[in-house]
Amino acid sequence: MTAFDNSYARELAGFYTPWAGAVTPAPKTLKFNAVLASELGLDPVEWTADVLTGATAPVGATPIAQVYAGHQFGGFSPQLGDGRALLLGEVIDSHGNRRDIALKGSGRTPYSRGGDGKAVVGPVLREYLIGEAMHALGVPTTRALGAALTGERVLREAGPLPGAVLARVASSHLRVGTFQYFAAQQDHAKLRQLTHYAIARHYPDAATADVPALALLEAVRDAQAALVAKWMGLGFVHGVMNTDNMTISGETIDYGPCAFIDTFDERAVFSSIDTGGRYAYANQPPIAQWNLARLAEALLPLIDEDTDAAIAKAVPVINDFAPRYEAAWTAEFRAKLGLTTAQDGDADLINALLAALQGKADFTQSFRQLAATLRGKDALPDSSALQAWMPAWRARIGEDKNAVATSMDAKNPLYIPRNHLVEEALDAATAGDTGPFEELLEVLAQPFLAQAGKDRFALPAPSDFGRYTTFCGT
């Protein structure tokens, strides 16, 4: 039997509303992640379709809807919360780590704000697919425990679609917006309680710092700097970096309008609602810093009773995001280019490559092609800018080219969730065929290894795929 230990529900009364998922007419399991379930110590027999859709709570769970606030595209909403999600509870995994198990799409809650609280199969499987792909790529992320159909049709702009629910696992669902909610309420007692809980759960060393709230801010800064550097190294565009989608743990959360760049474009935007490009690829680092500043604002009363003094302590922490991110980003791209040591001028070399790729070459393929050239293959696209860049890189990597190529292939994926393949899989699943989803999921589980018969999964979108647009559809 699954052993739940629900510290959030137990210790943070007033931070949530007890709730239950909606009854579903004909629940059916679509996919269950048995490997993850084993890591979490779960008995798969208990995780029936009824449980995965939220109609029945597992024994020992304490289902709740969490409350939080958030800046959405720069505008502050003082109350958001789990509008279509339920935190079932927490388990201690096989590594001794506390993990949340939550549902997404399980029906209306007190925080639904007029929405139906439901989800449809396409976006549910998108989050399943990309979350698991990010895990395989080494990116901190929420993960998918399972997905289930509800047996009902859910009305969306495209018409009635099959309803579905995602079971999601996270280190926690604490967000910047969680702190913003209690700061906006000017409830300093609850803000302090939340801060103590977050520190104990994620950054216990901060508890012994002179100013624990400031140490928490520093820890979140470092986690987010490292996370966004990994996004940038993969050409990943999150698409909706609102403060309610920025975790305290440093995990990627919410994959609604996300996408991966094909032809490199630092201005890449895919979300249909991001008309101003606020969350474009190149804007992700400064937006992460902006979000961190909002966390700092929420924590000011706990940093120092004097507001001016608190600001004076918090500002250097925020300002230090940029150099820490730059260090993480440079390290990420050094590894992508097979550079095993740090030298002055590496950032210039990396930026020169990105300038050469801009609008001309596939981002993911280019790094594998560079490695192939070290093995004597003529693999690069016909680009004068890229050819002009090559001599400086070759001079930088030294003589042991085979070792460099091997290290590059271990760092640079051959397979990513290509947008056209994701859409192909989701369209088929919506029509009732999960075969393409299963095949893509299997390929993405080993992103760095060439797989026989899977060549098409490494290719960019065909020319007739057109401009890709994503939607916040979960």
Residues recognised as catalytic? 244
User: Which residues, in sequence order, are bridge partners of residue 247?
Assistant: 175
CA 122, CA 127: separation in Å to the nearest integer?
Answer: 9
H or E segment and range at residue 64 = strand 64-66
Q: Which residue shows structure tokens 């075969």?
A: 435
> Amino acid identity of 412?
N
Per DSSP, what are the bridge partners of residue 175?
247
CA dihedral of residues 446, 369, 460, 272 (deg, nearest 10)? 90
Distances in Å between the Cα of 112 and the Cα atoms of 88, 239, 276 are: 17, 22, 26
For the record, the structure tokens of 138 come out as 């080494």
Cβ–Cβ < 8 Å for 301, 188: yes
Find the helix or strand (DSSP H, E) in which 148 lies.
strand 143-156
Helix/strand/coil (H/E/C) assignment for every residue in 454-471: CHHHHCCCCHHHCCCCEC
Q: With beta carbons less than 8 A apart as the criterion, state whether 84 and 112 touch.
A: yes
Residue type present at position 87: L
DSSP 363-419: HHHHHHHHHHHHTT---S-S-HHHHHHHHHHHHHH-S-HHHHHHHHHHHS-S----H
- What is the Cα 180 distance to its own chain's centre? 20
SS3 441: helix
